[in-house]
């Protein structure tokens, strides 16, 4: 069975068929860098880190690209409050974000690309969309005319009628309420000169400018939190496919479930956000990663100190069991098939089976837990060096997909 991945675009699991050793072009939406990131971000980025690690485990080469949104109204507003230059402020929070990801053990992102470095590409895309008659200019900026892209709504499962009721970006100069901005005119704050007046790009166009520059007109996987499906990812598909005429823009759309605390979504605006750096003063990265891996990436994760402590105890006992196995001296003897080798083969095959089933980390983690228990019991038996070392390597290789040991 090849790897199956749930595709938000088709709402079903589909096989990911690509030859072994091939490259996976993988894009994940990065944060708007106007503040520190919180555990809600950690939930998403750890999930995609595990997915990227597993793709490597399964023999693919992952080219993992992330955008950094350093052009945004929220950022301009915050910079104004702090009397700082928006791009300087963005760089400070970008560094803090990268430190946080590193501290969480997320090290496989190949490149981070800032929106502000892609203004020429963004302008070229906007100009093409206007030339094609899909985007139009008003006195406030440039807008994508949703009616001109009949497939709009496919990712979020909305009809054109439903979309007509949506009020995106209130602005009286738009032709239709559902149209979204590609460029907004601004006379103050962060802005660039353009054929459509001084201003700055809309949010959605930065992703298509960055991903098309790096990956070309179509690529393999795009990830993000499920709250980004509409309008952000819907708009990305519309922009890219209208620009290039190639479809699908992205083969697999992958979305993570929410993080909630005390029954509410964790978010900065609700005032219940726990910064990653504060959480890391209390829990290790391995404990947080273990906890998140015990939920499927599409599931909603409820977080509490009680639940985190329980997870950290489970991780402790897994470690203890594996250490007990490692510490048992092996005896010199020629390699032979033992109960141990069969046990490892079965564990590896189950691990792959579950991870191949839309990255079912809770079940794959259970395989590792049960393997650690059996290894600890086996440690007391007489094991030959070769088989014992092979078992240790196999266990660590699987644990490394989660980044927990």
Q: By CB under 5 A, is residue 207 in contact with Zn ion?
A: yes
Q: Does 29 help bind Zn ion (rule: CB under 5 A)? A: yes
Nearer to Zn ion, 113 or 178 (CB): 113
Read off the DSSP letter of residue 275.
B
**Minimum CB distance to Zn ion smaller for 126 or for 285:** 126
**Nearest distance from residue 29's CB to Zn ion, in Å?**
3
Q: Does 71 bind Zn ion (CB under 5 A)?
A: no
How many residues lie near Zn ion (CB under 5 A)? Answer: 2
Which is nearer to Zn ion, 70 or 207 (by Cβ)? Answer: 207
Q: Looking at the DSSP assignment, which residues form a beta bridge with residue 256?
A: 225
Q: Which span (23-31, 72-80, 90-98, 313-321) binds Zn ion, by CB under 5 A?
A: 23-31
Q: Does 234 bind Zn ion (CB under 5 A)?
A: no
Enumerate residues 6+ apart whose C-beta is below 8 A from 350.
364, 367
Using the contact rule CB under 5 A, the part of the chain among 29-37, 94-102, 103-111, 186-194 near Zn ion is 29-37
Q: Within 286-345, which residues bind Zn ion (CB under 5 A)?
A: none
Question: What are the distances in angstroms from CA 52 to CA 17, 48, 257, 344?
Answer: 16, 6, 17, 23
CB 104 within 8 A of CB 42: yes
Question: In whole angstroms, how close is the CB of 357 to Zn ion at the nearest point?
Answer: 27
Minimum distance between the CB of residue 83 and Zn ion, rounded to whole angstroms?
Answer: 29
DSSP secondary structure of 85-132: -HHHHHHHHHHHHHHHHHHTT-----EEEEGGGGHHHHHHHHHHHHHT
The residue among 207 and 234 lying less far from Zn ion, judged by its C-beta, is 207
Q: Which is nearer to Zn ion, 29 or 142 (CB)?
A: 29
The 160-199 contact track toward Zn ion, x by CB under 5 A, reads ----------------------------------------
Six token digits for residue 106: 């997320």
**Packing angle, helices 73-82 and 86-103, rounded to 10:** 110
How far apart are alpha carbons 273 and 39 in whole angstroms? 7
CB of residue 4 to Zn ion, shortest distance in Å = 25
Instruction: Check the CA dihedral 177-179-183-189 and report its sign.
Output: positive
Closest to Zn ion by CB, 106 or 383: 106
Contact status: 113 vs Zn ion (CB under 5 A) = no
Q: What angle do CA 65, 68, 74 make, to 5 degrees?
A: 155
Catalog residues that contact Zn ion under the rule CB under 5 A: 29, 207
């Amino acid at each position: 069975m090849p790897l199956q991945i749930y595709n938000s675009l088709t709402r079903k699991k589909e096989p990911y068929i690509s030859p072994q050793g091939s490259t996976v072009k993988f894009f994940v939406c990065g944060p708007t860098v106007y503040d520190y990131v919180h555990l809600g971000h950690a939930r998403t980025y750890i999930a995609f880190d595990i997915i990227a690690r597993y793709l490597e485990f399964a023999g693919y080469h992952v080219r993992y690209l992330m955008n950094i949104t350093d052009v945004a109204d929220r950022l301009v507003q915050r910079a104004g409050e702090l009397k700082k230059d928006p791009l300087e402020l963005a760089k400070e929070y970008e560094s803090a974000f990268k430190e946080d990801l590193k501290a969480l053990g997320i090290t496989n992102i190949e490149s981070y690309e800032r929106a502000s470095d892609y203004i020429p590409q963004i302008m070229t895309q906007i100009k093409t969309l206007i030339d094609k008659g899909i985007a139009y200019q008003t006195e406030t900026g440039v807008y994508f005319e949703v009616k001109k892209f009949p497939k709009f709504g496919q990712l979020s499962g909305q009809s054109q009628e439903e979309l007509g009721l949506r009020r995106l970006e209130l602005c009286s100069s738009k032709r239709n309420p559902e149209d979204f901005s590609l460029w907004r005119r601004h006379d103050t704050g962060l802005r660039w000169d353009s054929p459509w007046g001084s201003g700055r790009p809309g949010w959605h166009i930065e992703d298509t400018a960055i991903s098309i520059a790096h990956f070309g007109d179509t690529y393999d996987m795009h990830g993000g939190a499920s709250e980004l499906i509409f309008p952000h990812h819907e708009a990305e598909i519309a922009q890219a496919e209208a620009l290039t005429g190639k479809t699908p823009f992205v083969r697999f759309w992958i979305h993570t479930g929410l993080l909630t605390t005390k029954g509410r979504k964790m978010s900065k605006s609700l005032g219940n956000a726990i910064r990653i750096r504060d959480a890391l003063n209390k829990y290790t990265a391995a404990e947080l990663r273990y906890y998140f891996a015990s939920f499927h990436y599409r599931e909603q994760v409820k977080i509490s100190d009680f639940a985190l402590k329980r997870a950290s105890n489970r991780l402790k006992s897994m470690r203890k069991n594996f250490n007990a196995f490692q510490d048992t001296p092996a005896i010199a003897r020629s390699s032979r098939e033992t109960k141990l080798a069969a046990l490892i083969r079965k564990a590896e095959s189950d691990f792959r089976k579950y991870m191949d089933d839309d990255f079912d980390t809770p079940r794959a983690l259970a395989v590792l837990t049960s393997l650690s228990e059996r290894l600890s019991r086996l440690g007391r038996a007489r094991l030959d060096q070769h088989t014992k070392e092979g078992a240790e390597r196999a266990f660590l290789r699987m644990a490394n997909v989660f980044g927990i040991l």
